[in-house]
Structure 1
């Protein structure tokens, strides 16, 4: 389950709270409380006086106004001389907790802080190693990556991500530091590992032959969170995993938790294994996956070396076209219901809407819905079936061009239908190319060596904990 190393920046679910209530990243510097100024007074009530020779005229005894430490800078670890502060940890924790739909308990927060500290230590070690080898990351590259990320989530609003990060209790600097760590790691792998990984042609040919023999069998795309365990800590690790499952079931972001907690190489992709065959998994994981449906979470499952939590993202048949890869052209007709409408009136409007939809003679008629019933019409000429809610996928795959789905929605969100205006079916999937298989094998080997390389860097680092 080794995957290609990539930029560990944010989770899909996390960013779902960026622009709307569906995106979340994290970063804000805490501002000191505003308090009225009063003369400093010593404990005995007498005004304090400046010490002789004090160039700033500061009193011997200072009375602080407001919060004593609004921007805490106490060190929690020092890595080869680089200080990691409590503020660094808290701002990074916000990247995870803000992605959770449920309130995070104090116990969970403490556990998360410990994991974030470990991540920050690794991140610092990577940055320092790259700088020592004179392949450190240029500030311009960090800024470019940050700007690209902001553009993906906020469009042309250049400062919107800065403001958002501050609004949730983190900062742009926290995210930029994370970007620097990932880019530095890429540089280290590119110099010290990738050039020394080789794959023989016979290995690639063998994989292609096995794939052809497996044509039509299912492969699974999983999310995984793995923690190692031994006889001494097995019970504690199991309890830890059970708490993670509870948080995920309450709405926590699987991607965020995988990135911060998982010890598998897939942590960098938020736990995403990509599509794989069950034969490549430990038996306990394979047995569980067979019983799962997309969107289902199971675990913790005991496997050799520790425990894993599994989330089934998707499944498909090897080298076989999947109807859900069909690309549809759709028109969505939406009718908002008045706020506070009674159930009876709502049912009447839904029935009228349904009658109108049944009278449509194809996509060309859909545009008339605005004038006819006051509905809004939105076109999407290219959307893959698998991108739609699962309840609608089967309905749309069984529809003919010009037909509409049954009405769906709620009184709050309004009622809507999708009209099918076109469909491009996928071609049969051929076997992967020789080069793509070779790249996949290389990536797996690179990731294994990268894990060992990071372990060696940790062993050589001088770390002080406070």
Structure 2
């Protein structure tokens, strides 16, 4: 709950201050309109009147044996607006309503699933502690915090119910899937290798909002909703809070924080948009298959200037004047030997066979290698052995035994492991929710 609590606090702090919270990036010429700079701290202002919704009375939907009423939906819409600072307009009310209804359906399914675990009970004290922590982070007492929401038409019980369900659901997911979400050493090592290799490429620190078409009524509805969100964020709605409430991307729980994205690893349509955005800019809606993205460019960095590789080799000495037949025979011998070699065994093997020379070339900048070795060093995966490489000195098998970016701090293995664990847990939780929805009887009343 900690990060979500912070995001909620950001939005409510802005409400209590009577001013919009800006995105934390330099102001730049806009791709979709410049994000507003942070407003000066203002004295607390009176809350805006609660928006009026023309909601149908009675039951709007049933989720198995649980009902969602028009009052439930209007309360959740008011809370969604308060948390995101997205101002209701005739154009965006349908999107807010749909998002609030989806959230209520998920919450009803979560409550029904929690009821199957009698030993998992969230106490009033746990709820009070969470709300107190939310209030403390914006410099308010719990009473003032809830009173402000109530002045905007939101019952305190609405927030308490949502907090209670979120605490219980996180406890259930954590307890049920913690073992399955654990990360193997091999997965951590692979991620560390990928990070080291990616450090030489251009990278983008982005925030993302993904509107899934199937959840909002189709691709055009997703485009319209995304356009409204862009407009609201340009006018001051905090990106993180909007992402948390509206985004269907895995990063939604982190306020849309997608971290550093490596050039060439994303959808080409998104890549093109990221190339055009300057730091501090918000993209226009970007249509992709299945939905629409909004990208916020938080930072950019070029790849490290130096790419360092650890190389070992086995070679057959051969002058430049060697005949084609001699080169072919040497190549055939090395090709037969290659499947038997690894970075750990190749030097020992070279010393045990006549006519072979082995050498540990150590760590070197790729740019300082001979042209014949540069291609292998840049393209070969760590731990692989090249095909025979011809140089003026002879014929070589080159092993890439390590790669890292020069001048870049090595990633912390524990931090990488924790990140992978959180990703695994989030993926398992989403799959859990999809299964609950697939098995549920959900009926909508007109």
Q: Which TM-score applies when normalising by structure 2?
A: 0.61
Secondary structure in 2 matching 1:298: coil
**Alpha carbons 1:226, 1:262 under 8 Å: kept:** yes
Structure 1 13/154 Cα, relative in aligned 2: closer, same or farther at 3 Å? closer
Structure 1 220/291 Cα, relative in aligned 2: closer, same or farther at 3 Å? same
1:82-121 equivalence runs, <5 A: 82-98=66-82, 103-121=87-105
The answer for the alignment partner of 1:371 in structure 2 is: none
Structure 1 203/99 Cα, relative in aligned 2: closer, same or farther at 3 Å? closer
The answer for the alignment partner of 1:434 in structure 2 is: 413
1:15 pairs with one of 5, 12, 17: 12
Structure 1 158/456 Cα, relative in aligned 2: closer, same or farther at 3 Å? closer
1:184-199 equivalence runs, <5 A: 184-199=168-183
Structure 1 311/430 Cα, relative in aligned 2: closer, same or farther at 3 Å? same
- Aligned partners of 2:75 and 2:7: how far apart in 1? 14
The answer for the alignment partner of 2:109 in structure 1 is: 125
2:245 pairs with one of 255, 260, 268: 260
Pair 1:285 & 2:270 matched: yes
- Aligned partners of 2:137 and 2:57: how far apart in 1? 32
Aligned alpha-carbon RMSD (Å): 3.4
Secondary structure in 1 matching 2:17: coil
1:273 CA drift (Å): 1.5
1:112 CA drift (Å): 0.8
Secondary structure in 2 matching 1:258: helix
The answer for the alignment partner of 1:34 in structure 2 is: none
- Aligned partners of 1:205 and 1:249: how far apart in 2? 41
1:178-327 equivalence runs, <5 A: 178-215=162-199, 217-229=201-213, 233-316=218-301
Structure 1 108/305 Cα, relative in aligned 2: closer, same or farther at 3 Å? closer
The answer for the alignment partner of 2:383 in structure 1 is: none
1:318 CA drift (Å): 7.3
1:454 pairs with one of 408, 424, 433: 433
- Aligned partners of 2:282 and 2:20: how far apart in 1? 22
**Alpha carbons 2:55, 2:70 under 8 Å: kept:** no
The answer for the alignment partner of 1:172 in structure 2 is: 156
How many residue pairs align between the two structures?
313
1:190 CA drift (Å): 1.2
1:129 CA drift (Å): 1.0
Between 1:122-131 and 1:267-276, the stretch displaced more is 267-276
- Aligned partners of 1:140 and 1:101: how far apart in 2? 29
1:445 CA drift (Å): 2.2
Q: Which has the higher helix share?
A: 2
- Aligned partners of 2:289 and 2:142: how far apart in 1? 47
Secondary structure in 2 matching 1:153: coil
1:122 CA drift (Å): 0.3
**Alpha carbons 2:9, 2:134 under 8 Å: kept:** no
Structure 1 221/18 Cα, relative in aligned 2: closer, same or farther at 3 Å? same
**Alpha carbons 1:154, 1:161 under 8 Å: kept:** no
Structure 1 193/278 Cα, relative in aligned 2: closer, same or farther at 3 Å? farther
1:162 CA drift (Å): 1.6
The answer for the alignment partner of 1:74 in structure 2 is: 58
1:456 CA drift (Å): 0.6
Pair 1:463 & 2:431 matched: no
Structure 1 10/127 Cα, relative in aligned 2: closer, same or farther at 3 Å? farther
- Aligned partners of 1:150 and 1:8: how far apart in 2? 9
- Aligned partners of 1:136 and 1:9: how far apart in 2? 24
1:19-38 equivalence runs, <5 A: 19-22=16-19
- Aligned partners of 1:106 and 1:239: how far apart in 2? 12
CA deviations 1:292-318 (Å, max 9, x no partner) are 222211132123432211112234567
**Alpha carbons 2:75, 2:154 under 8 Å: kept:** yes
Structure 1 123/317 Cα, relative in aligned 2: closer, same or farther at 3 Å? farther
**Alpha carbons 2:203, 2:263 under 8 Å: kept:** yes
1:80 CA drift (Å): 3.4
**Alpha carbons 1:18, 1:161 under 8 Å: kept:** no
Between 1:97-106 and 1:268-277, the stretch displaced more is 97-106
- Aligned partners of 1:126 and 1:433: how far apart in 2? 35
**Alpha carbons 1:296, 1:312 under 8 Å: kept:** yes
- Aligned partners of 2:130 and 2:415: how far apart in 1? 27
Secondary structure in 2 matching 1:309: strand
